Amino acid sequence: MAETSRLGEGVRAYRLIAGMWIRSAMTYRTSFVVTMCANLVMTGLDFVGILLMFSQVDSLGGWGLPEIAFLYGLSVTAFGIADLVLGSMDVLGSRIRDGSFDILLVRPAPVLAQIGADRFAVRRLGRITQGTVVLGWALTSVEVDWSAAKVLLVPLMVVSSAAIFCAVFVAGAAFQIFAQDASEVQNAFTYGGTTLLQYPPTVFGKDFVRGVTFVLPLAFVNWVPASYVLGRPYPLELPGWAAFTPPLVAVACAALAGLAWRAGLGSYRSTGS
């Protein structure tokens, strides 16, 4: 009961603060339009990189372009959602350094919601748009025997992966409380993670895949269910039902990230004077 009201409070504070950032961005209208367009182009060029590869080859690790587009669309859409929701958490380090984090701490709203909504930027819709377009194209191009389970699995994968990316952002923020200018480490997991998931697991070494799947369960929520949908063998010897576990993995990750955040906040020591 108390937990749900806290969640409600958090969502409310998040909406209020995100709204303020949108209004702030609107005061520089030209810049807003330019950055929005630039973001669409930038994320678009990301997929062009894959198209370039396929201009030279017909398959990568035994997977064709539509199948890789499927992986890509899932990974980028999920990451895009997480990036829109919590993508500015890397400013936490500079907020701690300049002392403005203290101001968030004396407001009557959960700090995580406030820092999550910090620098909220509509231009981040660019990545989601691009991911969805690629995913849409992939869904019409892959040859799949669609069943109810497979249809259900697609949105489930997107939501679970988004939640896992969010958990990574939160854990990264907790880490920044200890090491303020090491915010780039989380790029390895966020941007690195989404890049990794765009390619089929057959490309990577077996030990590498095992590591990513169990140590950092990113791969789990994309590779395993995607293999199930596409009717391909799982990247590791796993039982058939493993494809349906992403929500559980997501919840576990969120819980761990929550604990990390609590630990981080508890050891916060503020700056100097």
Partner 1 sequence: MGSWRLYAAVAAGGFRRYATYRAATFAGVFTNTVFGVILVYTYLALWDEKPHLGGYDQAQAVTYVWLGQCLYSTLAIQGGGAEKDVIERIRTGEIAVDLYRPADLQLWWLASDLGRSLFQLIGRGVIPFAFGALFFPMALPTDATSWLALLVALLLAMVVSFGIRYLAALSVFWLMDGMGIMQAVMITGVFCSGIVFPLNAFPGVLGDIVRALPWAAQLQMPADVLMGETDPLGAYAFQATWAVVLLAAGRLLQSAATRRVVVQGG
Partner 2 sequence: MDAFIELDRVEKVFDVRKKTGFLKRERRQVRAVDSISFTVARGEMVGYIGPNGAGKSTTIKMLTGILTPSGGRLRVAGIDPSRERTRLAHRIGVVFGQRTTLWWDLPLIDSYRLMHRMYRIPDARYRENLDRCVELLELVDLLDVPVRQLSLGQRMRGDIAAALLHDPEVLYLDEPTIGLDVISKAKVRGFLRELNTERGTTVLLTTHDLQDIEQLCSRVMVIDHGRLMYDGPLAGLHEVGESERTLVVDLERELPPIVAAPARVVRVEGPRQWLAFPASESAAALVARVAAEYPLVDLSVREPDIEAVIAKMYAGEAEKAVS
Binding footprint of partner 2 on the chain (CB under 8 A): 9, 13, 16-17, 20, 23-24, 27-28, 98-100, 102-103, 105-110, 266, 268-270, 273
199 binds, among partner 1, partner 2, none (CB under 5 to 8 A by kind): partner 1
Which region, judged by CB under 8 A, interacts with partner 1, from 24-32, 80-88, 148-156, 239-247?
A: 24-32
Residue 180 contact among partner 2, partner 1, none, beta carbon within 5 to 8 Å by kind? partner 1
Nearer to partner 2, 106 or 215 (CB): 106
Q: Could you give phi then psi for residue 118, rounded to 5 degrees?
A: -60, 135
Establish if 205 lies at the interface with partner 1 (CB under 8 A). yes
In contact, 265 and 177? CB cutoff 8 Å: yes
Residue with structure tokens 């002392």? Answer: 99
Q: Which one, 1 or 215, has the nearer CB to partner 2?
A: 1
91/109 with CB nearer partner 2: 109
Given candidates 8, 19, 99, 192, which one binds partner 1 under the rule CB under 8 A? 192
With contacts defined by CB under 8 A, name the span among 32-40, 69-77, 145-153, 249-257 that binds partner 1: 32-40
Choose among partner 2, partner 1, none what residue 35 binds, the Cβ cut-off being 5 to 8 Å by kind: partner 1
252 binds, among partner 2, partner 1, none (CB under 5 to 8 A by kind): none
User: Residue holding tokens 């909220």?
Assistant: 120
Phi-psi region of 61 (alpha: psi -120 to 50; beta: other; left: phi over 0): left
Sorted by sequence, the CB contacts under 8 Å of residue 109 that are 6+ apart come out as 9, 10, 12, 13
Q: Would you say 38 or 103 has its CB closer to partner 1? A: 38
Residues 4, 230: Cα–Cα separation, whole Å: 38
From the list partner 2, partner 1, none, partner contacted by residue 129 (C-beta under 5 to 8 A by kind): none
Contact flag: residue 188 with partner 1 (CB under 8 A): yes
The answer to whether 30 contacts partner 1 (rule: CB under 8 A) is yes
Q: Does 31 bind partner 1 (CB under 8 A)?
A: yes
The minimum distance between CB 205 and partner 1, in angstroms, equals 7
100 phi and psi angles, rounded to 5 deg: -75, -10
Residues 123 and 5: their CA atoms lie apart, in Å, by 30
C-beta pairs of 206-212 under 8 Å, 24+ apart in sequence: 209/235, 209/236, 210/236
**How crowded is residue 18: how many other Cβ atoms within 10 Å of its Cβ?**
20
Question: What's the half-sphere exposure (Cβ side, CA atoms, 13 Å) at 218?
Answer: 29
DSSP state letter for 119: T
| Minimum distance, C-beta of residue 86 to partner 2, in the bound complex (Å) | 20
CB 200 to partner 1: min, Å = 8
* Binding status of residue 35 toward partner 1 by CB under 8 A: yes
What is the tally of helices (H) and strands (E) in the chain?
A: 12, 2
